[in-house]
């Protein structure tokens, strides 16, 4: 599948030339012409990379960068800065941008930076989990918190209330090893009649519903002697 890049930039001509070039390199491209539109798209749709101009109408690139990271999105961000914006570059990196390119930039250099960021985010196995305001997306699965529903490619996957809460807790703690005790405490709230075995039973049933091969789980991993780790 093509990697998708969001360009948030108000200079239309730059958007067009850059968009054409990225498409010719095999990327899928989407655009937003101001900071608010950028936020709408970045928070609702999954992107592999965001190219973000600092000087934008409505919401500045730096504010948007802050908002994206505050929302828990780990999408790589490449800032476009003007030569004079030395301070903004530094602030941008501190706010969570991954790299920057100074305008006017050499397209080959920009492509090299994009390639490096995309490689880095896959090799770091930076979780394929992306977070919207009320949802988590991991691969074809979408966990919708508002509707308390899980879908795979848009088709509902039936979960019990307890399975849903457990999956939600996993999604909130990607890559973290969680002990059975912690899961019992946080998901079941120490109800009477719950045992660590309760966790195992629910993990097993979630695996049946989520994993491609439930006997060789790749999403909810058993960490021997410790508990479980969600690796979306």
* Interface contacts to Ca ion, rule CB under 5 A: 10, 53, 55
DSSP string, 155-191: EEE---HHHHHHHHHHHHSTT-EEEHHHHIIIII-S-
Distance in Å, CB of 11 to Ca ion, minimum:
5
User: CB of residue 32 vs Ca ion: minimum separation in angstroms?
Assistant: 12
Q: What is the Cα Rg of the chain in Å? A: 20
- Smallest distance from the beta carbon of 153 to Ca ion, in angstroms? 37
Residue found by looking up tokens 């970045």 in the block:
42
**What is the residue whose two structure tokens read 């920057």?**
100
Shortest separation between residue 10's beta carbon and Ca ion, angstroms: 5
Q: Which is nearer to Ca ion, 103 or 180 (CB)?
A: 103
Q: Which residue minimizes CB distance to Ca ion?
A: 55
Half-sphere exposure of 42 (CA within 13 A, CB side): 31
**Which CB atom, from 10 or from 30, has the smaller least distance to Ca ion?**
10
Among 114, 126, 108, CA closest to 6: 114
Residue closer to Ca ion, measured from CB, 55 or 110? 55
Q: In the complex with Ca ion, which residue's Cβ is closer, 40 or 218?
A: 40
Q: Which of 54, 60, 59, 115 is nearest to 80 (CA)?
A: 54
Q: Smaller CB distance to Ca ion: residue 56 or 73? A: 56
Minimum Å gap between C-beta 53 and Ca ion is 4
Crossing angle of helices 12-24 and 107-123, rounded to 10°: 60
| In the complex, minimum distance from the CB of residue 113 to Ca ion, in angstroms, rounded to a whole number | 18
- Asked if residues 180 and 200 have their Cβ atoms less than 8 Å apart, the reply is yes
Count of CA atoms in the C-beta half-sphere (13 A) of 111: 13
Nearer to Ca ion, 28 or 55 (CB): 55
């Amino acid at each position: 599948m093509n990697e998708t890049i969001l360009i948030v930039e108000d200079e239309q001509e730059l958007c067009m030339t850059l968009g054409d070039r990225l498409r010719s390199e095999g990327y899928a491209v989407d655009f937003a012409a101001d900071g608010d539109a950028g936020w709408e798209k970045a928070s609702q749709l999954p992107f592999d990379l965001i190219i973000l101009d600092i000087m934008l109408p409505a919401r500045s690139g730096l504010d948007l960068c802050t908002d994206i990271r505050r929302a828990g999105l780990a999408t790589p961000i490449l800032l476009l800065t003007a030569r004079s914006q030395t301070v903004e570059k530094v602030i941008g990196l501190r706010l969570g941008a991954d790299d920057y390119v100074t305008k006017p930039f050499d397209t080959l250099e920009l492509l090299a930076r994009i390639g490096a960021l995309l490689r880095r985010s896959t090799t770091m196995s930076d979780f394929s989990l992306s977070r919207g305001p009320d949802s988590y997306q991991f691969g074809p699965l979408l966990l919708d918190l508002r509707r308390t529903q899980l879908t795979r490619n848009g088709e509902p996957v039936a979960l019990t209330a307890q399975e849903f809460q457990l999956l939600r807790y996993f999604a909130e703690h990607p890559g973290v090893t969680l002990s059975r005790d912690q899961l019992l405490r946080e998901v079941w709230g120490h109800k009477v009649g719950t045992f660590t075995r309760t966790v195992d039973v629910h993990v097993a049933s979630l695996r049946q519903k989520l994993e491609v091969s439930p006997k060789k789980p790749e999403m909810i991993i058993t960490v021997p002697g410790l508990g479980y780790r969600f690796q979306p």
